[in-house]
Structure 1
Amino acid sequence: MRLRFRFYACALIVMLMLPIFAAACGNDSGKPKVRVGEVARTIFYAPQYVALAKGFFAEQGIDVELQTTAGGDKTMTALLSGGIDIALVGSETSIYVFQQGADNPVINFAQLTQTDGTFLMEREHDGTFDWNDLKGSEFLGQRKGGMPQMAGEFTLRKHGIDPQKDLNLIQNIDFANIASAYASGTGQYVQLFEPQASIFEREGRGKVVASFGVESGRLPYTAYMAKGSYLDEKADVVQKFTNALQQAQRWVANNSAENIADTILPYFKDADRAIVIDAVKRYKEQGSYAIDGVFEQEEWSNLHDVLRTAGELKQDVPLEHLVNNRFAEQAKQTVK
C-alpha cells in the first residue's frame, strides 16, 4: 500500500512538473523557442525564408517563431521590451540605441543583406538616364532616418545632387503606402524595394533606371541583433541560429533564382512566381544577399559615412562595440 502511494505521489509530481519542463524548453517539442521580429516581409530577406522552409533551424534543434514588426522603431521597441528575442533590422538602429546610452546595448551578430535593397524608378522613361535628370523633379523617397532614405541621399550627393535643394523630396508618406502613392500619380521618380519595382515595370508604370544598392556600396544593411545579455545567456541557441542562417546563405548562393523563388513562395502567398523570380535575380546579380554573417570593417565604415552624410551620427562607434562576429565566424568555419 505504501509503495503504491509513493508511486502515485511520484507520478503526480511528474505531471505537475511537465508544464514547467515544457516552458523551460520553450515548446512542446522540447526545442528552445526563438522569437524573431523582422522589420518587413520582403524578398530582400530570402535566405531567412529558405532557412525556415528547408528546415535548417529545426535541424539545429531550435524552433523559430517569426513575426513581422513593421518599421525599425517598432522592431527595436519589441526587442528592448522583451517581446522578441532577436530582431532583423538595419544595423543603424543598434547605433541609435547606443547613442541614447542604453545600459544593455543591442549587438549585431549575423548579417543577412550587404547592400541597400531599393531601386530608382522613373515614371516617364525615354530609353536614356542621367542622374542630373532628377534635378527639379518630384522624388518620392523613403522615411527620414531610415537606411533606404539615407542610402538614397548618400547616392544622390555622390552624383552632385542635394536632396533638400535640387529636387522636391517627398518624405511624409508611410513606408507601407509609398508604392500606392506612386501608383496613384505621386512622384516622377520613386525609390522602391522589390518586388514592387518589378511589378510596376510589368504594369508599365515606369522603368528601373538605377540601383541604390550598387551605387551606395557594401553595407551591413540588414542584420540579426539581440541584447547583449541574451547573447551571453543563450550563446548556444544563438550559435545554432547562426549555423542555420549560414546553411541558408550558402544554399541561396549556390541555387538559381527559380529554385529560390519556389522555396520562398509560401511566405508570399499572393505573389506571382515570375515576379518573385525577377526580384530574386536582381538581388542576386547585385550581391545583396550576404554569403555569410560576418561583419567587415569596410562595410561598418561605409555605414558610418552614410549616417554621417545624413546627419544621424553623433559619434563614431567602433565595430567591436556593437558587433559580435564570434557566432558568424564559427558558423562560416564549421557549417558545410
Structure 2
Amino acid sequence: MKYFFTFTTSLVIVIMLTACQANYQKLTKINLAEVTRSLFYAPQYVAIEKGFFKDEGLDIQLQTTWGGDKTMTTLLSDGADIALIGSETSIYVYAQNPKDYAINFAQLTQTDGTFLVAKNPKPNFSWEHLKGESFLGQRKGGMPQMVGEFVLKKHQIDPHNDLTLLQNVDFGNIPSAFVSGDSEYVQLFEPTASVFEREGKGHVIASFGEESGKVPYTVFMAKQSYLKENKDIIKQFTRAIYRAQKWVESHGASEIANVIHSYFEDVDLEILTTSIERYKNQQSFATNPLLTEDTWENLKAIMDAAGELPNEAPYEILVNTDFAKEVMNE
C-alpha cells in the first residue's frame, strides 16, 4: 500500500508537470521592441508583470532598441513582431513608399511626456521668460522636439530666433549636458525631472504634455503583412494592453510603482511614485488602445508646425482601429 501511494503520488506530480509544460509550450512568442526604457510606458510593464499577456497565450520577449530609427529598422527587418514607438515614425516610413509599411494599432500614451525644467526657481513663471535664454531641447525630428517647438510657437515664441535652441545633444546625454552646461532651460522626461528637483539641479515649471493636448504619442505598431497574417495574435496583444490600461487607471501611483519597480531598479521607489503621479495627473497614460482621428490630426499639426510633416499621412491607411474596437466592445 505504501509503495502504491508513492507511485500514485509520483504519477500525479509527473502529470501536473507535463500539463504545466504543455501549457507553457502553447504560449506564442512575441518579439516586442520598445524605443526606450521609460516609466512613461507603465501600462506595458504592468501587462507583463501582472500576467495579462500570458493570460492571452503570449510570451513577450521585450527588447529595448534605444531610438526611433533603430526601433523602426528592427521592426521592418523582422527583428521584432511589434514595436512600441512614436507614431510619427510610421508617417516617415510611409512617405518613403515601402511595400510593407508599419501600421498603428494600439495607443499606449496620449500626451507628450516631457517637462520644462529650469536651473533656477521661477515662482512667477511665464513662457515669455524663455526669450533670450538658452534652451536645451530634444533631438530634431522626434516628437519631444516637435512638441517643444509647437508649444513655444503657441506662446508666440519663435524657437529659432527668440532663444538659443540647442538640439545637438544625444537623448541619453541631455541631463548631464544641462547640469554641466550654461542652458537655463531643458526639456526632460520623468523620472529625471523629479530626480533633478530632489537633488536641487533643476525645477519643474511646466508640462509640455498639458500644453500640447492629446496626441498619439507612443503607439504599438506592426508591419502591414504581420497584421494581415496574425489577426488573432494582434487581438490578444491589444486585449492584454487594454486590461493593463484599465488596471493603471484604477490603481494608485504607489501600487503601479511597486509593480514596475524591477524595470527601474536604479530609481528610488519614492521618485518612481512621484513621477507616475505626475503622468496620471495629466492623463498621459491612455485609458484605452483606440487611436482616434482627432488626435492623429493634432499629431499632424505638431509635425507640420515643425516642418517635419510629409505630404501624406492618411489616418485610414496608417491606423487600424479594428482590434482596439473589438476588445473594447467585448
Gaps of 5+ in 1: 1-21
For residue 153 of structure 1, the aligned residue among 127, 149, 156 is 149
1:136 corresponds in structure 2 to: 132
Query: Is the CA contact 2:137–2:167 (under 8 Å) kept in the aligned structure 1?
Result: yes
Per-residue CA distance 1:256-313 (angstroms, 9 max, x = gap): 0010001100111111000000010000000000001101111000001001111111
Matched, 1:260 2:259: no
2:8 corresponds in structure 1 to: none
Partner SS, residue 88 of structure 1:
strand
- Cα distance between partner residues in 1 of 2:97 and 2:289: 26
1:281 corresponds in structure 2 to: 277
1:304 corresponds in structure 2 to: 300
Runs of 4+ in 1 over 3 A off after TM superposition: none
- Cα distance between partner residues in 2 of 1:211 and 1:123: 16
Superposition CA RMSD, Å: 1.4
Query: Is the CA contact 1:304–1:316 (under 8 Å) kept in the aligned structure 2?
Result: no
Matched, 1:54 2:50: yes
- Cα distance between partner residues in 2 of 1:33 and 1:125: 49
Change (3 A) 1:126 1:239: closer
1:167 corresponds in structure 2 to: 163
1:13 corresponds in structure 2 to: none
Change (3 A) 1:306 1:126: closer
Partner letter of residue 159 of structure 1? Answer: H
Once the two structures are TM-superposed, the CA of residue 332 in structure 1 deviates from its matched residue by 1.2
What is the correspondence of 1:68-107 to structure 2 with a 5 Å cutoff? 68-107=64-103
- Cα distance between partner residues in 2 of 1:31 and 1:55: 12
TM-score by length of 1: 0.90
For residue 270 of structure 1, the aligned residue among 266, 273, 276 is 266
Per-residue CA distance 1:146-190 (angstroms, 9 max, x = gap): 000000000000000111111111110000100111122341000
TM-score by length of 2: 0.92
1:215 corresponds in structure 2 to: 211
Query: Is the CA contact 2:39–2:191 (under 8 Å) kept in the aligned structure 1?
Result: yes
Partner SS, residue 219 of structure 2:
strand
Per-residue CA distance 1:231-258 (angstroms, 9 max, x = gap): 0111111111000000000000000001
1:178 corresponds in structure 2 to: 174
Query: Is the CA contact 2:122–2:205 (under 8 Å) kept in the aligned structure 1?
Result: no
Partner SS, residue 291 of structure 1:
coil
- Cα distance between partner residues in 1 of 2:292 and 2:310: 22
Partner letter of residue 105 of structure 2? Answer: F
- Cα distance between partner residues in 1 of 2:313 and 2:164: 33
Once the two structures are TM-superposed, the CA of residue 28 in structure 1 deviates from its matched residue by 6.6
- Cα distance between partner residues in 2 of 1:264 and 1:329: 27
Partner SS, residue 323 of structure 2:
helix
Query: Is the CA contact 2:114–2:209 (under 8 Å) kept in the aligned structure 1?
Result: yes
Decide which moves more: 243-252 or 179-188.
179-188
Query: Is the CA contact 2:92–2:310 (under 8 Å) kept in the aligned structure 1?
Result: no
Once the two structures are TM-superposed, the CA of residue 316 in structure 1 deviates from its matched residue by 3.8
1:243 corresponds in structure 2 to: 239
2:39 corresponds in structure 1 to: 43
Partner SS, residue 165 of structure 2:
strand
Gaps of 5+ in 2: 1-20
Decide which moves more: 310-319 or 228-237.
310-319
- Cα distance between partner residues in 2 of 1:36 and 1:136: 43
Partner letter of residue 79 of structure 2? Answer: G
Partner SS, residue 235 of structure 2:
helix
The number of residue pairs the alignment matches comes to 310
- Cα distance between partner residues in 1 of 2:194 and 2:24: 42
- Cα distance between partner residues in 1 of 2:127 and 2:268: 32
- Cα distance between partner residues in 1 of 2:124 and 2:63: 41
Percent identical across equivalent pairs?
55
Partner SS, residue 240 of structure 1:
helix
Partner letter of residue 138 of structure 2? Answer: Q
Once the two structures are TM-superposed, the CA of residue 197 in structure 1 deviates from its matched residue by 0.2
2:199 corresponds in structure 1 to: 203
- Cα distance between partner residues in 1 of 2:122 and 2:230: 55
